[in-house]
Amino acid sequence: MQKKIEQAQTLLEALPYIKKYSNQIFVIKYGGSAQINPELKDKFAQDIILLYLVGIKPVIVHGGGNKINEMLDKLQIKSEFVDGMRVTDAQVMEVVEMVLSGNINKEITTLLNMHGAKALGITGKDANFITAVPKDNGKYGLVGEIVHIDNTVIENLLADKFIPVIAPIASANEINHPGFNINADLAASKIAASLKARKIIFMTDIAGVMDKEKNLLSTLTEDEINAYKADGTIIGGMIPKVDACLEAVNGGVEKAHIINGKIEHSILLEIFTSEGIGTVIKK
Protein backbone atom coordinates (compact mmCIF):
# COMPACT_ATOMS: atom_id res chain seq x y z
CA MET A 1 0.00 0.00 0.00
CA GLN A 2 2.83 2.40 0.93
CA LYS A 3 4.36 1.79 -2.51
CA LYS A 4 1.05 2.63 -4.18
CA ILE A 5 0.82 5.90 -2.23
CA GLU A 6 4.37 6.76 -3.33
CA GLN A 7 3.38 6.06 -6.93
CA ALA A 8 0.46 8.44 -6.57
CA GLN A 9 2.78 11.07 -5.11
CA THR A 10 5.15 10.71 -8.04
CA LEU A 11 2.25 11.30 -10.40
CA LEU A 12 1.11 14.30 -8.38
CA GLU A 13 4.58 15.83 -8.51
CA ALA A 14 4.15 16.02 -12.27
CA LEU A 15 0.76 17.74 -12.07
CA PRO A 16 1.93 21.41 -11.94
CA TYR A 17 4.21 20.79 -14.91
CA ILE A 18 1.48 19.09 -16.88
CA LYS A 19 -0.79 22.10 -16.24
CA LYS A 20 1.94 24.55 -17.17
CA TYR A 21 3.04 22.85 -20.37
CA SER A 22 -0.23 21.57 -21.79
CA ASN A 23 -0.64 22.79 -25.38
CA GLN A 24 2.94 24.08 -25.57
CA ILE A 25 5.44 23.09 -28.27
CA PHE A 26 8.61 21.32 -27.09
CA VAL A 27 11.37 20.78 -29.63
CA ILE A 28 13.40 17.71 -28.77
CA LYS A 29 16.74 17.19 -30.47
CA TYR A 30 17.43 13.47 -30.36
CA GLY A 31 21.18 13.23 -30.77
CA GLY A 32 22.71 10.44 -32.81
CA SER A 33 24.88 9.86 -29.77
CA ALA A 34 21.82 9.03 -27.64
CA GLN A 35 20.32 6.58 -30.17
CA ILE A 36 22.31 3.68 -28.83
CA ASN A 37 20.35 0.49 -28.32
CA PRO A 38 16.82 -0.78 -28.88
CA GLU A 39 15.92 -0.56 -25.17
CA LEU A 40 16.88 3.11 -24.87
CA LYS A 41 15.17 3.96 -28.14
CA ASP A 42 12.04 2.28 -26.86
CA LYS A 43 12.12 4.30 -23.62
CA PHE A 44 12.62 7.48 -25.66
CA ALA A 45 9.49 6.64 -27.65
CA GLN A 46 7.50 5.97 -24.45
CA ASP A 47 8.57 9.33 -23.03
CA ILE A 48 7.55 11.20 -26.18
CA ILE A 49 4.16 9.46 -26.17
CA LEU A 50 3.67 10.45 -22.55
CA LEU A 51 4.40 14.10 -23.33
CA TYR A 52 2.01 13.89 -26.26
CA LEU A 53 -0.78 12.32 -24.18
CA VAL A 54 -0.56 15.00 -21.48
CA GLY A 55 -1.11 17.66 -24.13
CA ILE A 56 2.44 18.77 -24.90
CA LYS A 57 3.21 19.08 -28.62
CA PRO A 58 6.55 17.36 -29.24
CA VAL A 59 8.52 18.18 -32.38
CA ILE A 60 11.47 15.82 -32.89
CA VAL A 61 14.64 16.87 -34.71
CA HIS A 62 17.23 14.12 -34.92
CA GLY A 63 20.93 13.78 -35.55
CA GLY A 64 22.78 10.72 -36.72
CA GLY A 65 26.50 11.25 -36.33
CA ASN A 66 27.48 7.68 -35.47
CA LYS A 67 25.42 5.99 -38.15
CA ILE A 68 26.65 8.41 -40.80
CA ASN A 69 30.24 7.63 -39.76
CA GLU A 70 29.60 3.89 -39.97
CA MET A 71 28.16 4.18 -43.47
CA LEU A 72 30.95 6.48 -44.66
CA ASP A 73 33.47 3.94 -43.32
CA LYS A 74 31.71 1.08 -45.10
CA LEU A 75 31.82 3.02 -48.35
CA GLN A 76 35.38 4.14 -47.63
CA ILE A 77 34.50 7.80 -47.93
CA LYS A 78 36.54 10.15 -45.76
CA SER A 79 35.00 13.09 -43.90
CA GLU A 80 36.28 15.39 -41.20
CA PHE A 81 34.84 17.64 -38.51
CA VAL A 82 35.72 21.32 -38.22
CA ASP A 83 34.23 23.38 -35.34
CA GLY A 84 31.98 20.40 -34.52
CA MET A 85 30.56 20.51 -38.06
CA ARG A 86 30.89 17.69 -40.61
CA VAL A 87 32.58 19.06 -43.73
CA THR A 88 30.24 17.84 -46.47
CA ASP A 89 31.08 17.34 -50.17
CA ALA A 90 28.59 15.98 -52.71
CA GLN A 91 29.54 12.36 -51.98
CA VAL A 92 29.25 12.80 -48.22
CA MET A 93 25.94 14.63 -48.73
CA GLU A 94 24.51 11.63 -50.52
CA VAL A 95 25.34 9.41 -47.55
CA VAL A 96 24.14 11.99 -45.01
CA GLU A 97 20.76 12.16 -46.74
CA MET A 98 20.52 8.40 -47.17
CA VAL A 99 21.21 7.71 -43.50
CA LEU A 100 19.32 10.63 -41.93
CA SER A 101 16.27 10.70 -44.12
CA GLY A 102 16.11 7.09 -45.31
CA ASN A 103 17.22 5.20 -42.26
CA ILE A 104 17.13 7.11 -38.96
CA ASN A 105 14.09 9.26 -39.70
CA LYS A 106 12.00 6.21 -40.58
CA GLU A 107 13.30 4.25 -37.61
CA ILE A 108 12.20 6.95 -35.15
CA THR A 109 8.90 7.49 -36.92
CA THR A 110 8.12 3.77 -36.95
CA LEU A 111 9.01 3.41 -33.28
CA LEU A 112 6.72 6.25 -32.23
CA ASN A 113 3.93 4.86 -34.38
CA MET A 114 4.35 1.39 -32.84
CA HIS A 115 3.82 3.04 -29.45
CA GLY A 116 0.53 4.53 -30.58
CA ALA A 117 1.43 7.98 -31.92
CA LYS A 118 0.81 9.40 -35.36
CA ALA A 119 4.40 10.34 -36.19
CA LEU A 120 5.29 11.72 -39.58
CA GLY A 121 8.87 11.92 -40.80
CA ILE A 122 10.04 14.71 -43.09
CA THR A 123 13.14 16.64 -44.11
CA GLY A 124 13.40 20.32 -44.94
CA LYS A 125 13.10 19.34 -48.61
CA ASP A 126 9.50 18.20 -48.10
CA ALA A 127 7.19 21.00 -49.20
CA ASN A 128 10.44 23.00 -49.40
CA PHE A 129 9.80 23.89 -45.78
CA ILE A 130 13.41 24.60 -44.75
CA THR A 131 15.66 26.49 -47.15
CA ALA A 132 19.34 27.22 -46.60
CA VAL A 133 22.46 28.79 -48.07
CA PRO A 134 26.10 27.65 -47.62
CA LYS A 135 27.23 28.27 -44.02
CA ASP A 136 30.14 30.71 -43.59
CA ASN A 137 30.62 31.15 -47.36
CA GLY A 138 30.99 27.43 -47.94
CA LYS A 139 33.72 26.85 -45.33
CA TYR A 140 32.18 23.43 -44.60
CA GLY A 141 31.07 22.56 -48.17
CA LEU A 142 27.41 21.58 -48.31
CA VAL A 143 26.78 22.41 -44.65
CA GLY A 144 23.97 24.91 -44.79
CA GLU A 145 22.67 27.75 -42.74
CA ILE A 146 18.91 28.00 -42.57
CA VAL A 147 17.46 31.15 -44.09
CA HIS A 148 13.77 30.30 -44.04
CA ILE A 149 11.36 27.96 -42.32
CA ASP A 150 7.78 27.62 -43.49
CA ASN A 151 6.06 27.21 -40.12
CA THR A 152 2.70 26.34 -41.63
CA VAL A 153 3.96 22.85 -42.50
CA ILE A 154 4.70 21.96 -38.87
CA GLU A 155 1.76 23.90 -37.50
CA ASN A 156 -0.62 21.98 -39.77
CA LEU A 157 0.89 18.68 -38.68
CA LEU A 158 0.55 19.65 -35.01
CA ALA A 159 -3.02 20.81 -35.52
CA ASP A 160 -3.78 17.39 -37.00
CA LYS A 161 -2.19 15.71 -33.93
CA PHE A 162 0.88 14.41 -35.75
CA ILE A 163 4.28 14.24 -34.09
CA PRO A 164 6.66 15.76 -36.68
CA VAL A 165 10.01 13.95 -36.91
CA ILE A 166 12.46 16.16 -38.78
CA ALA A 167 15.74 15.13 -40.45
CA PRO A 168 18.05 18.18 -40.58
CA ILE A 169 18.39 18.52 -44.34
CA ALA A 170 17.43 21.70 -46.15
CA SER A 171 16.44 22.59 -49.66
CA ALA A 172 18.69 24.94 -51.64
CA ASN A 173 15.65 26.12 -53.58
CA GLU A 174 17.57 25.40 -56.77
CA ILE A 175 17.08 22.74 -59.44
CA ASN A 176 19.68 19.90 -59.43
CA HIS A 177 21.21 21.03 -56.14
CA PRO A 178 21.81 18.16 -53.66
CA GLY A 179 20.52 20.24 -50.75
CA PHE A 180 22.24 21.12 -47.50
CA ASN A 181 23.36 19.19 -44.47
CA ILE A 182 22.34 21.21 -41.41
CA ASN A 183 23.87 20.55 -38.02
CA ALA A 184 20.93 19.02 -36.17
CA ASP A 185 21.42 21.20 -33.08
CA LEU A 186 21.25 24.37 -35.14
CA ALA A 187 18.29 23.06 -37.13
CA ALA A 188 16.47 22.33 -33.86
CA SER A 189 17.11 25.79 -32.43
CA LYS A 190 15.96 27.57 -35.60
CA ILE A 191 12.83 25.44 -35.70
CA ALA A 192 12.16 26.06 -31.98
CA ALA A 193 12.51 29.83 -32.31
CA SER A 194 10.44 29.87 -35.46
CA LEU A 195 7.61 27.87 -33.86
CA LYS A 196 7.81 29.88 -30.61
CA ALA A 197 8.42 26.67 -28.70
CA ARG A 198 8.30 26.78 -24.92
CA LYS A 199 11.32 24.53 -24.49
CA ILE A 200 14.12 22.95 -26.46
CA ILE A 201 15.77 19.82 -25.11
CA PHE A 202 19.00 18.39 -26.46
CA MET A 203 19.41 14.69 -25.73
CA THR A 204 23.06 13.76 -26.00
CA ASP A 205 25.57 11.28 -24.56
CA ILE A 206 26.86 13.32 -21.62
CA ALA A 207 25.27 14.70 -18.43
CA GLY A 208 25.36 18.27 -19.72
CA VAL A 209 28.04 20.89 -20.23
CA MET A 210 31.12 20.11 -18.11
CA ASP A 211 33.83 22.42 -16.83
CA LYS A 212 37.53 21.61 -17.17
CA GLU A 213 37.41 19.48 -13.98
CA LYS A 214 34.48 17.50 -15.46
CA ASN A 215 31.92 18.95 -13.05
CA LEU A 216 28.44 19.39 -14.45
CA LEU A 217 27.47 23.04 -15.03
CA SER A 218 23.78 23.01 -14.15
CA THR A 219 23.16 26.54 -15.45
CA LEU A 220 25.03 28.68 -18.00
CA THR A 221 24.78 32.29 -19.15
CA GLU A 222 25.76 33.67 -22.55
CA ASP A 223 28.96 35.24 -21.11
CA GLU A 224 29.97 31.96 -19.48
CA ILE A 225 29.38 30.07 -22.72
CA ASN A 226 31.57 32.50 -24.64
CA ALA A 227 34.33 32.22 -22.04
CA TYR A 228 34.19 28.39 -22.04
CA LYS A 229 34.35 28.34 -25.84
CA ALA A 230 37.29 30.74 -25.86
CA ASP A 231 39.34 28.78 -23.30
CA GLY A 232 38.70 25.39 -24.95
CA THR A 233 36.41 23.96 -22.25
CA ILE A 234 33.58 23.63 -24.75
CA ILE A 235 34.81 21.90 -27.91
CA GLY A 236 33.67 19.64 -30.76
CA GLY A 237 29.99 18.69 -30.92
CA MET A 238 29.24 20.78 -27.82
CA ILE A 239 30.01 24.00 -29.74
CA PRO A 240 26.99 23.93 -32.06
CA LYS A 241 24.88 22.67 -29.14
CA VAL A 242 25.54 25.67 -26.86
CA ASP A 243 25.27 28.00 -29.87
CA ALA A 244 21.90 26.41 -30.58
CA CYS A 245 20.81 26.91 -26.95
CA LEU A 246 21.66 30.61 -27.19
CA GLU A 247 19.95 30.98 -30.54
CA ALA A 248 16.81 29.39 -29.11
CA VAL A 249 16.61 31.46 -25.90
CA ASN A 250 17.53 34.67 -27.75
CA GLY A 251 14.78 33.75 -30.22
CA GLY A 252 12.11 33.58 -27.53
CA VAL A 253 12.28 29.99 -26.28
CA GLU A 254 11.99 30.10 -22.49
CA LYS A 255 14.57 27.44 -21.61
CA ALA A 256 17.10 25.24 -23.37
CA HIS A 257 18.16 21.99 -21.70
CA ILE A 258 21.09 19.70 -22.46
CA ILE A 259 20.53 16.27 -20.93
CA ASN A 260 22.02 12.80 -21.02
CA GLY A 261 19.89 10.75 -23.38
CA LYS A 262 21.72 7.62 -22.24
CA ILE A 263 19.88 7.81 -18.91
CA GLU A 264 16.53 6.04 -19.12
CA HIS A 265 13.56 8.42 -19.15
CA SER A 266 15.86 11.45 -18.90
CA ILE A 267 13.27 13.68 -20.61
CA LEU A 268 10.64 12.90 -17.98
CA LEU A 269 13.13 13.53 -15.16
CA GLU A 270 14.06 16.89 -16.66
CA ILE A 271 10.54 18.08 -17.39
CA PHE A 272 8.39 16.67 -14.60
CA THR A 273 10.61 16.90 -11.52
CA SER A 274 11.67 20.00 -9.64
CA GLU A 275 15.41 19.21 -9.66
CA GLY A 276 16.09 18.48 -13.32
CA ILE A 277 19.25 16.63 -14.36
CA GLY A 278 21.30 18.45 -17.01
CA THR A 279 22.42 21.94 -18.02
CA VAL A 280 19.78 24.67 -18.35
CA ILE A 281 20.26 27.87 -20.34
CA LYS A 282 17.84 30.78 -19.98
CA LYS A 283 17.94 34.25 -21.37
Query: Does residue number 233 form part of the binding site for ligand ATP (CB under 6 A)?
Result: yes
Q: Which is nearer to ligand ATP, 32 or 141 (CB)?
A: 32
Rounded Cα–Cα distance for residues 265 and 283 (Å): 26
SS3 255: strand
SS3 content of the chain, % helix, strand, coil (to 5): 45, 25, 30
Q: Report, in Å, the least distance between residue 34 CB and ligand ATP.
A: 6
Q: Using the rule CB under 6 A, give the single segment among 30-38, 47-55, 143-151, 169-177 that binds ligand ATP.
A: 30-38
Residues 212-271 that bind Mg ion (CB under 5 A): 237
Taking CB under 6 A as the binding criterion, the range among 16-24, 89-97, 169-177, 234-242 that sits at the site for ligand ATP is 234-242
Contacted by 248, from ligand ATP, Mg ion, none: CB < 5 to 8 Å by type = none
d(CA 90, CA 218): 39
Contact 135, 144 (CB under 8 A): yes
CB atoms within 10 A of CB 59: 23
Which is nearer to Mg ion, 40 or 61 (by Cβ)?
Answer: 61
Site string for ligand ATP, 145-184 (x = CB under 6 A): ---------------------------------------x
In angstroms, rounded to a whole number, what is the distance separating the alpha carbons of residues 144 and 135? 5
Using rule CB under 6 A, residue 237 touches ligand ATP:
yes
Task: Please count the other Cβ atoms lying within 10 Å of the Cβ belonging to residue 13.
Answer: 12
Binding region for ligand ATP (CB under 6 A):
31-34, 63-65, 184-185, 204-206, 209-210, 233-238, 241
